[in-house]
Structure 1
């Protein structure tokens, strides 16, 4: 199981600002966030109670899974502006609180590049918080608003069962659960449920009463078979048998709703999905390939070795496969789920 632990720590996106960095290859996530922007504004306008903000205490926001690059700053600025607009619209006599934003990601995240690219005219204080969001990160009742975009689909680890050669879930010849037996899918779904339980338990302790969780991540429509959700692959090399991607992108709105209900600490204020944006035009296939490379290269190098020539060849082949299968990608049933949760009063 030691290999599995190594994979977990390698989940950070490609750092720096080079050609294969996440900072320069996250336009898909940005497109998704732009689609969610109006939802976040509306969520704050309709669901955030700012009349009872404590005088003299900052309003604390955290971006869980911030990675590196401009997307996290755009998101945080939009949240701050939405809160300011609501404050002004209600004509409150209390002054606006100071904003304190915590940027969270794995300890191996490139926080140096993140800090170096902070906007010069930001209206908030900032701090980095390294660590997994599947566990506690903050003191009790200290956070007012939790934001996370395109992060919760990453599991805390590969399900143990799919790495066990004696298990019916042994995922031989595959690196993912698409086109795999139903037992493999069940193992991934079970791991997602455990991770969401830990995530919600941690946030239930950290978020103030009435505080909000604005979460968005890939999903599929209720009732859709996971095998119809996206392109999958099978590779015959023996070493692939022990390599699996800790990624679960086929949660459904009902699946998430049931997990929130099981936790019992939050009300669901909004739960809706929209189609994932699709890149078009010249260069779209290469952009998709670079997008995947930005968040998969670390995992691949950790398991198969860091030979740059092999990595280059791998993604050349991958780009061609995307081009050959682009019509399937265009017909994908993948969606983005936006879930707004509100912390209940303790019973």
Structure 2
């Protein structure tokens, strides 16, 4: 019975593994900046938490350890401020991600001087991954914009939501947009329901989420715009005969850019958490570079690190260099995409209700 409850059927979308030039480890400076920007807000949130011993962190990567260090530093500061000896604290940290992701890289990179016990917990966070009431704090950074799967209507040629010729939803039909919205709402309910069972009463969930400002059309969201441009590159390769157009028609990126308003509605519907804080993070300048060519290259590396696994699975790895070389050129030719596209990163702190 317990095994039956552990996970929801979910696809895995691993980042580019290892530490090579195209890896996620080498191309996640932007995410590192977001984690740093959230540090002070995170510190203030933890000051209100009575106990913290078991921490879960969702999503592996080079910035994972920075997030953990920030959290534990805040807890130790809290205990010292209350007159307790923080040296008596012991911490158990669980690192969670899908099984295809690079746990080996994580374990090889664990800081030698870490002040916590570490364990890896594989599985989709859309379902149960921990025992009942066993976690005091869940921290998820740059993970909840990934859907558990591409909406099934999107790849059904007989459906009004068939997303022919596109790889994302932002500039598509209303049927496609609604399919993505419905999939995101379903995934968030599963996520919140699972965490409500795993987190102790009074425990916290700290979420760092990329998204779009309230009221912003999906077509004007920066991440959607860069994905749309990547889709145009795939269509260019299809016209050249490098890939089959039918393959492009069936390929979609399972990412959804939510708004704070949508998240508030999901939390309210679930009913197990209260919102302690929701705040936009400062703008991150990691990719704000005056040299247009260099900026285009950095964006291309970043998008490749996060989408290469998906593209390789659908089209093979032979097209990757040609695809992202073309993508980098298009980004360079369309610098206005960075000024016109809207995006926010926001911090959401939820507290587990007692009922």
Paired residues for 1:191-270 under 5 Å: 191-230=183-222, 231=225, 232-233=228-229, 234=232, 235=235, 237-249=245-257, 251-270=258-277
Q: Distance in 2 between matches of 1:206 and 1:185?
A: 32
* CA offsets 1:70-112 (integer angstroms, 9 cap, x no match): x000110010000000010011379643100000111011111
Q: Distance in 2 between matches of 1:259 and 1:28?
A: 27
Corresponding residue number in structure 2 for 1:17: 19
1:7, distance to aligned residue in structure 2 (A) = 9.6
Assess if the C-alpha contact under 8 Å between 1:260 and 1:266 holds in 2. yes
Q: Distance in 2 between matches of 1:321 and 1:272?
A: 34
Corresponding residue number in structure 1 for 2:328: 319
Q: Distance in 1 between matches of 2:125 and 2:30?
A: 23
Question: Secondary structure at 1:61's aligned position in 2?
Answer: strand
Question: Secondary structure at 1:201's aligned position in 2?
Answer: helix
Assess if the C-alpha contact under 8 Å between 1:266 and 1:343 holds in 2. yes
Assess if the C-alpha contact under 8 Å between 1:253 and 1:272 holds in 2. no
Name structure 2 gaps, 5 residues minimum.
1-8, 239-244
Does residue 127 of structure 2 align to residue 126 of structure 1?
Answer: no
TM-score (norm 2): 0.89
Corresponding residue number in structure 1 for 2:152: 160
Paired residues for 1:174-193 under 5 Å: 174-193=166-185
* CA offsets 1:235-266 (integer angstroms, 9 cap, x no match): 363321000111112x1111100100000000
TM-score (norm 1): 0.91
Q: Distance in 2 between matches of 1:94 and 1:74?
A: 20
Corresponding residue number in structure 2 for 1:65: 59
Task: Tell me the C-alpha RMSD between the 2 structures.
Answer: 1.8
| Residue of 168, 172, 175 corresponding to 2:164 | 172
The total of aligned residue pairs comes to 328
Corresponding residue number in structure 2 for 1:34: 36
1:281, distance to aligned residue in structure 2 (A) = 3.5
Does residue 110 of structure 2 align to residue 107 of structure 1?
Answer: no
Q: Distance in 2 between matches of 1:7 and 1:290?
A: 26
Corresponding residue number in structure 2 for 1:56: none
Q: Distance in 1 between matches of 2:21 and 2:211?
A: 29
